[in-house]
Every structure is written in C-alpha cells, then in structure tokens.
Amino acid sequence: MSALTNAIELLRCFSTARPDLSFADVVAITGKPKSSTSRLLRSLRDCGLLEQDPHTRRYRPGLLTFELGRLHRAHDDLIGTAERELREVCARTGHTGYIAVLDGHEQVVLRIVPGSNPLRVVNPPGQRTSALATSNGRAMLARLSDQDIRARVPGTFPRLPRNAPQNFKQLMERLSEIRRTGVSEASDEAIEGVGSQGFALASGETGELIGIAVSYSVQATTAAERANVRRELAAMAGKLRRMTGDPLGQTGMPLRTGAGAR
C-alpha cells in the first residue's frame, strides 16, 4: 500500500456528514496506527490538501482541494450542455434538477438546478449517495454490463430505504425494466417523500456517463404532473442524445413518450 493510497484513504474520511475531523476521529475511522496517521495528517496539511483549525486543531479539506475542485471538468461540454437543457425543463416544470456521475456503486452530485416549487435541497453538489436508490443512479447502472454492475455492488448488499431494492436480484429487476422501457423512476427511496425520474446520458466521443434527474414532492404532485415530467425528460433525453452522439440515441431505443406508462 503506497503512501499515496494511505493519503487518499485519509482524505476519503471527510464527507458532507463529517466535513472536519480531529486526529482521534481519523484514527478511529481508518484504524491505522497513531504514528502513521499523525505524520500523514501533518504532511497533508503542509502541502495544502488539508487545513488545520488553529484553535480546535481539527482538520478539514484545504485550499488546494478547493482550487482543484474548481477545475474539475470546468471545460466539460457534456455536463454543460446537459445543464443548459435541464435548466429549461426545471424552469418549465418548477421542479428541481440534478446531474450526477457514477463512482462505484455510489453517485456524486455535480450540479443542481433549484426549482421554483418549494422543495428543500438536501443534496448539494459534492453530495455522495448510493446510486442504487436514485432514478438517475439506476439509469446509469442500467447502461453498464451485468458483470460491471456485479463488480460495482459490494459483496454484502448495502442497507437501503424501504422502497429501494433490497438485494441484488431486485436491483437487476429494476435495471432490466429501465433497459426495457427507457424510464427510470424512484419514489420515497433515498429521501422520504421525494420522487424523481431520470435518465443516463453517455458522450459518443468519450463514453463518459452522467445521470440526469428531476425530483419533486410525491404528495404534492399529481399523476398527470408526473406524466408531464416523463414527457419533458423524454424530449430532453432525445435532444441531448442527438447533441452529444450518445450511442443509445442512434440504436433507435427511444424513451417511452406517451402518458400510458406506469
């Protein structure tokens, strides 16, 4: 295990749930020896990847991560293009839009487009959640090979909220339905009372995969409104697939556009 690997393991202890950690926290989380952790934390601080509060002595991500984070895919056309389209849909429907990428069996929110409807934003950019319990997460997974999916999901299936798949078999059923219908939906899963619909978009050039979703309050939304969202998403998916050269846009596999689905 290289020094870099250890450093990364340490950096990965930080999350939105725990944006700052003490030395003891890190030792407890990683289980590494105190001496190694002490040295490594200092190195990371000295090089700018971490900062240390001079008063509490707690560590947090440093200036360098901020700078680099601002650079991340700043130039990326796929995400920018998708975001523009998503903004229009969100403006029309009033709902909240998300763009995320896959990382293993999890996803990370890249962009959020707040809707005009009052729905508390609980997933700011940078938020990491299970991709198994979201509409756009599953939409992304549905575009991978079964063996790739198998490799991404941990041996012991993660514990997920009630309406989400509870085991690998249920997951695969949801994914094959997405593959069949082109529609991915989640309701009352990752977040209580929130539903969403999403799809995955792949760049024809780079193969890069992103997930786009529109989310809304389940109880404040009628079936007709949800059907409207489905139409909006189908139109957006079609347009974006043409624009980005998504292979799925060319193999003639359309999103179901009628209101008949359910």
Partner DNA sequence: TGGAACGGTTCCAAATTATGGAACGTGGTC
Partner DNA sequence: GACCACGTTCCATAATTTGGAACCGTTCCA
Among positions 27, 108, 218, 261, the unique one binding a copy of itself when judged by CB under 8 A: 108
Q: Where are the beta strands (DSSP E) in 40-105?
A: 50-52, 59-61, 96-103
Q: Which does 101 bind (CB under 5 to 8 A by kind): a copy of itself, DNA, none?
A: a copy of itself
Other C-beta atoms closer than 10 Å to the C-beta of 17 total: 7
- Give me the DSSP letters along 109-177: EEEEE--SS-------TT-EEEGGGSHHHHHHHTTS-HHHHHHHS-SSPPP--TTS--SHHHHHHHHHH
How far apart (Å, rounded) are the C-alpha atoms in residues 78 and 200?
12
Q: How far apart are CA 139 and CA 108, in angstroms?
A: 14
Using the contact rule CB under 8 A, the part of the chain among 15-23, 28-36, 129-137, 138-146 near a copy of itself is 15-23
Q: How far is the CB of 203 from a copy of itself (least distance, A)?
A: 9
Is position 3 an interface residue for DNA (rule: CB under 7 A)? yes
With contact defined as beta carbons under 8 Å apart, do 51 and 61 qualify?
A: yes
Binding partner at 33 among DNA, a copy of itself, none, C-beta below 5 to 8 Å by kind: DNA
Among 16, 18, 19, 39, binds DNA (CB under 7 A): 39
Helix (H) or strand (E) holding 21: none
Between 4 and 224, CB nearer to a copy of itself:
4
Structure token pair of residue 197: 């619909």
Query: In the range 54-73, which residues lie near DNA by CB under 7 A?
Result: 57
**Among DNA, a copy of itself, none, what does residue 36 contact (CB within 5–8 Å per kind)?**
DNA
Binding site for a copy of itself (CB under 8 A): 2-5, 7-8, 11-12, 14-16, 19-20, 43-44, 47-49, 51, 53-55, 60-75, 101, 103, 108, 110, 124-126, 128, 205-208
